[in-house]
Structure 1
């Protein structure tokens, strides 16, 4: 994990669970290194750093441990926290980790992410009446029928409706169109924290085309998007938090 700007007075916390690319040395021998790991949220840490908001980012690849997945529940089928296949169906591991290894990886990478994020949010709640958690992601818009900003709210369960309307308006004012809960409605992070008292949470999905050139920031598009995010977040905090 990596924390950026931990001590700020802002009521906003940004979570970036899918930008990590690290494969720990002790795990690498188990991996099929020929597998594709393209659906990474490339360069989001670099994108948000100029915003000076408290940010928690996972550094281990989502293809090792996906910290935004739900833990299995009886009678419920969920995508595994430790995934088995890549985006085109190739095995991610030459030997899928044993249950003991899985438990170890969750203890090392999954649980600490939630503990650290909860601590950051609690610190904010000591300073503010309400706090906003932005779980930030990106997606390859060549693969979807949209290039909109996608706002995930778990079917409007994690974000106050007034806040959602204001957020949509602010994006629109910056020339960015949005859609809600489709094709991404939000994962375990906003589901966990968005139901807590005084915390609102939204998953924001940014299309690659708005800020990337390959896996790196596009110098002009990224700067433009950073400026727009800065304006949106500042106004949202002023109006609602």
Structure 2
């Protein structure tokens, strides 16, 4: 297994799989000489891997910062897109690299960091399909709600293309019962992970974006806020688990 991908196989006997692609902050030693040390790397899903570490579900997370390789972007991103797999600029428009990697190096990074993440997901789905006819991937993210016109939890479905109407209705109801304010597909429609994974037979997927203000203080876990949200999300995820076991 790639040393920058962590797979915690907590529970094969659950149809739920968690993905945490953007909590990583590490930069490989061989790449550090290439980066611009003055560039910012603000939009990280801070502590999300730690936040769910005690949840009784198999999880896959990346230790690598999304500012080197963003595993939640499509390989087929156009040249004009502002969100390539290997991003060029930080939030303020500063170059992330002293010298942007050549096409050959880009392909090397994709092989080393990008493809293995999807392979890890598909491996775990295959294991779960030995026990369940239907699997659900929960792709977990967070966002700085001071930078967006929302402070709600965002459930993303790529405009209802990654999950059935019935399943989404159930999940939305679970969040509402827990008194957690949500929006669907606004302002985030969901990234490439749920798009690709939901193409698998009998697999549904959603992206869940949690506002920083609900669980963080200065990019670290807020003891009180995070514990309260952990308790609510764990109960929601357990309800989702029971739904997919039927």
Given the two structures, how large is their TM-score scaled by the length of structure 1? 0.96
In structure 2, the partner of 1:240 is: 244
Q: Match for 1:16 among 11, 16, 20?
A: 20
**Cα distance, 1:7 vs structure 2:** 4.3
In the other structure, the counterpart of 1:224 is 228
Match of residue 207 from structure 1:
211
1:65 is matched with: 69
TM-score, normalised on structure 2?
0.94
Task: Give per-residue Cα distances to partners, 1:153-211, cap 9 Å, x unaligned.
Answer: 01000011111111111111111011111111111100001122110000000000111
Task: Give 1:100 shift.
Answer: 1.2
C-alpha contact 1:72 1:78 (8 A) present in aligned 2: no
1:155 aligns with 2:159: yes
Please, which of 79, 82, 98 is the counterpart of residue 83 of structure 2? 79
Who is 2:111 aligned against? 107
Give the whole-Å Cα distance in 1 for the aligned partners of 2:80 and 2:150: 30
SS of the residue 1:146 aligns to? coil
The 8 Å contact of residues 141 and 207 in structure 1, kept in 2 or not, is answered as: yes
Q: Measure, in 2, the Cα distance between the counterparts of 1:181 and 1:196.
A: 21
Indicate how the Cα distance of structure 1 residues 190 and 92 shifts in structure 2: closer, same or farther if over 3 A, else same: same
- 1:137 aligned to which of 117, 127, 141: 141
Change (3 A) 1:143 1:74: closer
**What is the distance in 1 between the residues matched to 2:215 and 2:60?**
20
Kept in 1, the 8 Å contact 2:11–2:56? The answer is no
Unaligned segments of structure 2, at least 5 residues:
none
Alignment RMSD (CA, Å)? 1.5
Does the 8 A contact of 2:88 with 2:96 survive in 1? yes
Shift of the 190–9 alpha-carbon distance from structure 1 to 2, 3 Å rule, reads: same
Indicate the residue corresponding to 2:128 in structure 1. Answer: 124
CA distance in 1, matches of 2:129, 2:152: 31
Equivalent residue pairs, number: 241
Shift of 1:73: 5.9
Alpha-carbon separation, structure 1, partners of 2:149 and 2:197: 30
Change in Cα spacing, 1:170 to 1:109, as seen in structure 2 (3 Å) is: same
